[in-house]
Amino acid sequence: MNQTQPQPLAGQTAIVTGGASGIGRATGLSLARLGAAITLVDLNERLAEEAARDLRQFPHAVEPLVLRLDIRREADMAEMARLTLARFGRIDILVHSAGILRGTGSKPKLLAEVEMAEWEEVIATNLTGTFLCNRAVLAAMMEQRSGQIINISSTSGLKGRPLDAVYCASKFGIMGLSQSLAEEVRNFGIRVQVVAPDAIDTPMWDQNGPIRPPADALPADRVADLIAYMVTLPLDTILGEVIIAPFRTRRRKKPPASEGSV
């Protein structure tokens, strides 16, 4: 007789911001596959509903909660937590993936050319959004004395690069915020980590105009696989607070004939 395989995240609830596309969408799918109930948060309601349809494919799937909310708005993030608790009764995992590369309609430029509006849009989305989203779930996690928060930064949060100073600043900020929070909530049984991917082929690249992803950029589901592994580890597992994931699909060079190639 066939038996359903154990689901390591069964009975747990995960919120995924930016869940309509890219790393967020892939992560929602990975966590649902492992049995988690999923709240998808995104401003693109159409794509979020498409992502929710994918989550329903699993025989054990819990009906996902899709929320059109803005991570930059304090009231929206409070509503995210409230509605998730009302539907599922708990918040075990937050994967904060929502973010932007640069301001609306902008392009790579020197810092001397960056306008205040662009600075404010990127910082509000990437850094203030991280603060508001993380803060919104803390009360529930602290009360249940368990939880996991994974914030998505970038290798651009470790080393600045030209023409993207605002983005880099926001991603550096995510690192510091997450590390500080990790120290604050460790004794509540809450683990806070950052995943810093290298080049990943996601829709965010569209904000680069004609610049396309590197040929060896990985698909988003590789990052999702890493996140799924991280959240299935026991909370007392010792892991670094910043997980650097600069993996790329590098092509191996063909060895010379003297090394035994045929």
Q: Which has the higher per-residue pLDDT, 168 or 197?
A: 168
For CA atoms 202, 204, 209, 214, give the dihedral sign: negative
CA distance 173 to 48: 27
Supply the pLDDT for residue 105: 83
For 75-134, write each residue's pLDDT tens digit: 999 999 999 999 999 999 999 999 999 888 888 899 999 999 999 999 999 999 999 999
Is residue 93 classed exposed, middle or buried when 0-12, 13-18 and 19+ CB atoms within 10 A define those classes? buried
Closest Cα partner for 74 from 17, 139, 16, 132?
Answer: 132
Q: Which has the higher per-residue pLDDT, 231 or 250?
A: 231
CA distance 115 to 94: 32
Reported as a pLDDT band with limits 50, 70 and 90, residue 156 is: confident
For 21-74, write each residue's pLDDT tens digit: 999 999 999 999 999 999 999 999 999 999 999 999 988 889 999 999 999 999
For 214-239, write each residue's pLDDT tens digit: 556 577 788 999 999 999 998 887 66
Supply the pLDDT for residue 260: 36
Specify the amino acid at residue 159: K
In 3-state terms the chain splits into helix, strand, coil percentages (rounded to 5) of 45, 15, 40
Supply the pLDDT for residue 1: 36
The CATH number given to 13-247 is 3.40.50.720
Q: Across-strand partners of 96?
A: 17, 151
134, two tokens: 């993380």
Supply the pLDDT for residue 242: 80
pLDDT(259) > 50: no
What are the helix and strand counts (H, E) for the chain?
7, 9
Q: What's phi and psi for 170, nearest 5 deg?
A: -65, -40
pLDDT(245) > 90: no
What value does the mean pLDDT of the chain take? 86
Catalytic residue numbers, as ranges: 167
Domain ranges for the chain, please list them: 13-247
Q: Across-strand partners of 219?
A: 201
